[in-house]
Amino acid sequence: MRVGFIGLGSQGAPMARRIVDEGFPTTLWARRPESLAPFADTAAETAATPAELGAASDVVCICVVADDDVRNVVTGEDGVLGGMAEGGVLVIHSTVHPDTCAEIAGKAAARGVAVIDAPVSGGGIGAAERRLLVMVGGDAEALERCRPIFETYANPIVHLGELGAGQVTKLLNNLLFTAGLAIGQAALDLGEQLGVDRARLGEVISSGSGNSFALSRVVSPTGLDLIGNHAGGVLRKDVGLIADIAETAAAAPGIVLTAADATLERMGKSR
């Protein structure tokens, strides 16, 4: 099975490396030559355009940042779909709006190409250690075709339903994480006001029923600032996406969105 991969950032590059190292014939494309440089000593081929990559691949994985980025590399001029043959599978690993996946799937179907959405969680380290969480929406048969590829960097791989279900699940996960940052920060701040050492309080809670991954990120007084500088923009994007989905569905997000917005405000990343 020939694999194409676009999106060689901090998340995508380790994923692509695992695919290459497992022996899948792999073609890469990147806007910046420096993104390809780490693969110079591997068997991976490079393509001049996304369309050329599509023509060389049975499965194409997309791991770029935002909705417009996905559209540009897939359906833009010299996009992936322009080269893919009938029977191919396009995998959207990016975290984007489900409507974007549906839009692309409609265009792909006209060419006989299947689309599944498969956002991931676990970071580059998770990919390198083969323990990424992959959340999949779309056709079960298409997923099974891609499973051997996913297994090079992921465990578990969870099929959640129709196209877009993976995106909704990933966005809910990120919403809860963002909300948890504000809640954890508030608990630690309150502890300090009541005379409890912040680091010791964090140590205790990490072994108690109130523990969470988000809390562990804000035990340091500068933890929230560091996250804001590193990932604040992405969290703002994802919270905005799930808020829009909820509004469109007339669903009440409740306090989790309120807490997430509080986190973004403290980061200086209000949506």
Task: Give the 3-state secondary structure of residue 256.
Answer: helix
d(CA 167, CA 74): 18
CA 64 vs. chain centroid, Å, equals 9
CA 139 vs. chain centroid, Å, equals 19
**Rounded to 10 degrees, what is the CA torsion of 74, 76, 81, 83?**
-120
d(CA 223, CA 212): 14
Q: How many residues does the chain have?
A: 271
CA angle 164, 27, 24 (to 5 degrees): 85
d(CA 18, CA 40): 15
Burial class (CB in 10 A: 0-12, 13-18, 19+), 135: buried
CA angle 214, 216, 217 (to 5 degrees): 65
Indicate if 170 belongs to the active site. yes
Q: Choose, from 107, 170, 237, 269, the residue flagged as catalytic.
A: 170
Per the CB < 8 A criterion, the answer to whether 163 and 101 are in contact is yes
**Residues with catalytic annotation?**
170
